[in-house]
Amino acid sequence: MSETDAPRNARHSASGLDLVPPDAAERAALEADLTLEEKRVLLAHGTEAPFCGTLLGEKRPGVFCCRECGLPLFRAATKFESGTGWPSFSEPVDPDHVTAVRDVTHGMVRIETRCARCDSHQGHVFSDGPPPSSQRYCINSVALTFVPEGTALPDPLGRGDGIA
């Protein structure tokens, strides 16, 4: 299909993945699959307790994807030990996959990170990370799904996102 034949609402990241938000029926199906804790974090902008996330110690090669819609967000190669109690990453898979939103809750100013496709809350980004990016994407484990290298990416929306 040529660009002129593409739907008017088609939107892709620089890496070629579909960023069109889920429609109402797709969103309902995605949200129905979430646990109560996942709903609290992803949909209500919550935070899991530090040092309890299941992905904190994950060190295998692969990709960390949005738990809600499956969009690849962070590569394992960019994960580092920050000592904060949450998985930390120095950069996203593709800058188009993460949306930054000013967050003034809890008496401070921070930058919230959300999935660019489904708008689910992931965590926050800070400027105290390692070089060269100096970024620390502090992300809730419950907001992510780890996909080992060479494994098919989750594709709950049927968009053919590929292999990690």
Residues belonging to the active site? 138
Quote the CA–CA distance of 119 and 124 in Å, as a whole number. 14
- Residues 82, 138: contact at Cβ < 8 Å? yes
Quote the CA–CA distance of 48 and 142 in Å, as a whole number. 7
Burial tier of 6 (Cβ tally within 10 Å: 0-12, 13-18, 19+) = exposed
